[in-house]
Amino acid sequence: MQLPTERELAATIDHAILKPDLTRTDVDAELDIAAQWGVFSVCVRPSDIAYAVRRLDGTGVAVGTVIGFPHGTTSTTAKVAETIRAFEDGATECDMVLNIGALRSGFDDVVADDIRAVVDAAGGRITKVILETSLLDDEQIARGSRLTEAGGADFVKTSTGFAGGGATVPHVRLMRENVGAPVQVKASGGVRSLDTALAMLDAGATRLGTSASATILGELRAIHAGETASGAVDESSY
């Protein structure tokens, strides 16, 4: 694929700030990284939403959060309540973990109803559904993707990053193949280098979840800087 500009790549990134042991100082540092690099959004812990909204005010960086994270096993009622509160606190998007056990059990109605309830609670705001692909086989990933679309969500997403595995190119392709064009794919978990980020986008992802935004965008900046320097040398040789 053609190398994107730094702004184009930054516009695909949800900078993840989700580790349970992060202190306020750690969160501040990550929010500053997001603002410095101009990523699309941060994805923060629910308890950090209101603070992140205040701190990022005026930067152009949106604030998203997670629902039923990281296991997806909270009740639908709890997920709905969490979703409502998240948007009241200022979130603009949410990434919910579907009921993984229900999906593996073949309880498709339970999964779709769970998704639909959160989508309804989001009231038209962007909702992404995390499948946790490392715990699923290909049939389950394909079915989970279709149920995500059936539930009315905007994105299907690979992983939380907390289940011992992350996004893979084959899984992103499989997800892309099993949803219609209006549903987008988010690759998350293990996206820590420019090469990996570009591979996920080439496979069909349109959003990347990563805590390595500075590394990825820094690599791209260095490449573009090298191209500019090479062009300048070539021009001066005429």
Active-site pick, 14, 48, 154, 157: 157
- Catalytic annotation present for 202: no
Active site residue 157: yes
Distance CA 33, CA 125 (A): 25
CB 174 within 8 A of CB 145: yes
Q: Which stretches of 56-168 are DSSP H helices? A: 76-88, 100-105, 108-122, 138-150
- Which of 121, 110, 29, 33 has its CA nearest to residue 72? 110
CA angle 111, 115, 120 (to 5 degrees): 145
Q: Which of 14, 79, 128, 186 is catalytic?
A: 186
CA distances from 202 to 1, 41, 163 (A): 6, 21, 24
Question: What is the distance between the alpha carbons of residues 221 and 143, in angstroms, rounded to a whole number?
Answer: 38
List 14, 48, 79, 95, catalytic entry: 95
Taking the C-alpha atoms of residue 42 and residue 52, their distance in angstroms, rounded to an integer, is 8
Q: Judge whether 125 and 93 are in contact, CB under 8 Å.
A: yes
Instruction: List the catalytic residues.
Output: 95, 157, 186
